[in-house]
Amino acid sequence: MKAMIQKDLRENLKLALIGLLIFSLLLLQAYQTCISTLTNMLTGNSSGQIGALQPLLATGLLTGTAFFCAIFGTALGWLQTRNEAHRDLWAFLIHRPVTRTEIFWGKTIAGLCLYAFGAGLPLAVLVAVVRTPGYVAAPFEWAMVVPPALIFFTGIAYYFAGLLTGLRQARWYASRCFGLGLAIATSFGVVASTVFWIPTVLIAVAVLILAAAAWGAYQSGGFYRGQPVAGRLALTVALTAGCGVALFASVGLLVNLVLGPLTHHPYVWSYYQMTRDGTIYKETNRDGNTEYADLDGHPLLDPKTGQKMEPKEFSKRIAYGRGVLSTLKYRNRDQYQYSIQNASGFFSLWNITDKTLWYLDRHGKLLGYDGQTRKFIGSLDPHGNDGKLASEPFLQRADSNYYNAYGDVPQKIIATAKTVYQVDFKERTLKPVFTLTNDEIGGYDEEEASYEDNHAAKNFLITTRKTVCLMDYDGRPIFALPYKPGYFEYPQVEISFLQLTNSSMNNFAVWFLPDYLMNKAAGWKLPEHILWIAPAQTVTKSADLPVLRLDEESSWPDKLATALLPPPVHVEFDDKIYKSWNLLSYTLALVCSVIGWTLARRYNFSTTASIGWTLFIFLLGIAGLLTFMCVQEWPVREICTNCKKFRAVDRESCEHCEAPFSPPEKNGTEIFEPLAKV
């Protein structure tokens, strides 16, 4: 085994070195991108994902890593077997006094070492660099290593898929690489997951299955027949995923590229807008055309021209707004999210002042980094800036994944669950503005300042368990309302800043917006609730508007695409789209399983195997049938000389009449003599 490992290490070292070089350059380039994002943000004229400030969380870097690990893993695995796929070299390899399992492990250990060398080493260096003060002006914690690590481990699934592809003997050449399907599916699963354990389990399962399938392929030289049960099972699962992915991709392409354009389905989206006089209009986007109408459905006309209102003109009339999402509902849960696409699970960029970046990390600490030296300069909390005292965590603001250089003027306030503070970043001090005694802050946000008309922020919106309140920076309420309906069903509160005119006497309008999922569960019965507030803090008017939803009517290609999905999907997701054509789905599954059953009977599968495969195909539909056909080797059939029926050539005797195969026909030139021992 040691010799095997050494040989494979030496044989594929070149590839690993090339991989190492490419990946190092790729990471270096992604790192440089992160640094230039930082530089641009510091100069105040660039917006960007805050994840870009910490390379370990940067989307670009992670995407690059994901692609590299997938390609490198596949290439390594594939070449490691491809090198020896020449049948004589394969024979040279296999014909030695060791088991094939040992050969498999020898190769695999060498391959994984090389993978770790090519893909793992640059990542490890990156982590070391990121941790070193003076390189990255963003918080670091070990949990941030998890996303790149998960991507790295996903590459191992690709490695085994590559091994499998290199070895697999199949009638359909394309189906040799179907093992990659499971790895690709895993990649998507990893990217989409929001909790740590799901991708871990996904990767572990995928690696286990693909490793078992590759091991099985080593046992049989790439055939399904002659493998141990575990290998056959793993191969079947892996190919099922492959067929699923292939089917999914081809149906997706068909629908989007061919059927989609043929059956154009207009894209309609509408929502409410409020103008500064407090009137609500319905804005409708239809294939890029925007229309405005009042709530009675009359189109809105431009008073100057008498024509339909243009978006440019309308946007001048829209009221400034600000929204606050109450996080009370989730406060006691761990909000910690590992989603690779979401850096805000770790920290948000609170502010940039004087070349200093202030982050609010997920533990509620305000951390300062010098943008030029890229070093940590200290943390800020209610008890001073030494950061040593345990203090109450600061609350996150909503949607803090993106830094907007033009919209987000320096924040002045920050809040814990009980107290709102005004921050002086220059002096690095906090001044309490407002403290709650018998209540808890749900969310808060400041009025939007605008450079355009020199409008400075004067107040902030705050929601607690009981109230919704607009306050100035001295802690004086401008108005306060009971939080009704409550934050549980209506977590989102928005405020529109209105202008007092002769016809409109209202200062503000407050929107209570229902939670999407809860509203969906309630059958879309929760309306949007709006209150208009006059300067005297009195509610002058209220309205309930039905929520506007996306038109969920799907076109027939979409329905067809869902109908190709196997029955369990239709049972699991009882959305309208899945329901519409699910009879077709069941029919297709049934037809496929009948075909499967016929095939199984024709090729003399045992009754158990026939039933098993038929059931399998019924559950997985077309993908199941494809898998069945890919995974098995189908023997030729020829006519039995005895009973004249077709019989499979891989049986010792005819399945119909039990007659053995006839010996070769004699032609009178045979020379046979018993051979004695010499």
List residues near another protein by CB under 8 A.
Answer: 2-3, 7, 10-11, 86-92, 94-99, 220-221, 223, 225-226, 635-636, 638, 649-652, 660-661, 663-664, 668-673, 675-678
Q: Which of residues 225 and 644 has its CB atom nearest to another protein in the complex?
A: 225
Report, in Å, the least distance between residue 64 CB and another protein: 31
How crowded is residue 173: how many other Cβ atoms within 10 Å of its Cβ? 8
Report, in Å, the least distance between residue 142 CB and another protein: 41
Q: Which of residues 102 and 313 has its CB atom nearest to another protein in the complex?
A: 102
Q: Which of residues 169 and 373 has its CB atom nearest to another protein in the complex?
A: 169
Q: Enumerate residues 6+ apart whose C-beta is below 8 A from 156.
A: 73, 112, 115, 203, 207
Are 144 and 347 a contacting pair, CB within 8 Å?
no
Report, in Å, the least distance between residue 639 CB and another protein: 12
Q: Is 674 exposed, middle or buried, given 0-12, 13-18 or 19+ CB atoms closer than 10 A? A: exposed
Are 426 and 65 a contacting pair, CB within 8 Å?
no
Report, in Å, the least distance between residue 87 CB and another protein: 7
Report, in Å, the least distance between residue 678 CB and another protein: 5
Report, in Å, the least distance between residue 661 CB and another protein: 6
Q: Which of residues 7 and 276 has its CB atom nearest to another protein in the complex?
A: 7
Report, in Å, the least distance between residue 636 CB and another protein: 5
Q: Which of residues 226 and 546 has its CB atom nearest to another protein in the complex?
A: 226
In the DSSP assignment, the letter for residue 507 is S
Report, in Å, the least distance between residue 12 CB and another protein: 10
Q: Kindly state the tokens that stand for 20.
A: 């190492």
Report, in Å, the least distance between residue 659 CB and another protein: 13
- Rounded CA separation 153/194 (Å): 17
Are 374 and 135 a contacting pair, CB within 8 Å?
yes
- Rounded CA separation 586/597 (Å): 16
Q: Phi first, then psi: what are they for 195, rounded to 5°?
A: -120, 155
Q: Which of residues 3 and 571 has its CB atom nearest to another protein in the complex?
A: 3
Taking CA atoms, 26 is separated from 19, 61, 122, 157, 502, in Å, by 10, 8, 10, 21, 62
DSSP string, 183-241: HHHHHHHHHH--SSHHHHHHHHHHHHHHHHHHHHHHHHTS-STT--HHHHHHHHHHHHH
Report, in Å, the least distance between residue 77 CB and another protein: 18
Q: Which of residues 308 and 651 has its CB atom nearest to another protein in the complex?
A: 651
Task: Write down the residue that tokens 């089917």 correspond to.
Answer: 247
Q: Which of residues 97 and 297 has its CB atom nearest to another protein in the complex?
A: 97
Rounded to 10°, the helix 179-192/229-253 angle is 70
Report, in Å, the least distance between residue 605 CB and another protein: 17
Are 440 and 417 a contacting pair, CB within 8 Å?
yes
Q: Which of residues 315 and 667 has its CB atom nearest to another protein in the complex?
A: 667
Q: Which of residues 91 and 521 has its CB atom nearest to another protein in the complex?
A: 91
Report, in Å, the least distance between residue 220 CB and another protein: 7
- Rounded CA separation 269/263 (Å): 19
Long-range CB pairs of 564-568 (<8 Å, 24+ gap) are 564/247, 564/251, 564/588, 564/621, 564/622, 565/621, 566/619, 566/620, 566/621, 566/622, 566/623, 566/624, 567/618, 567/619, 567/621, 568/619
Residues comprising the chain, all counted: 678
Nearest CA-CA partner of 343 in 356, 361, 370: 361
Nearest CA-CA partner of 78 in 177, 3, 2: 177
Q: Which of residues 392 and 655 has its CB atom nearest to another protein in the complex?
A: 655
Q: Which of residues 389 and 671 has its CB atom nearest to another protein in the complex?
A: 671
User: Is residue 497 helix, strand or coil?
Assistant: strand
Q: Which of residues 76 and 498 has its CB atom nearest to another protein in the complex?
A: 76
Report, in Å, the least distance between residue 86 CB and another protein: 6
Question: What order do you get walking across the sheet with 356-361 strand by strand?
Answer: 347-353, 356-361, 366-370, 376-380
**What 3 state SS string does 86-124 have?**
CHHHHHHHHCCCCCHHHHHHHHHHHHHHHHHHHHHHHHH
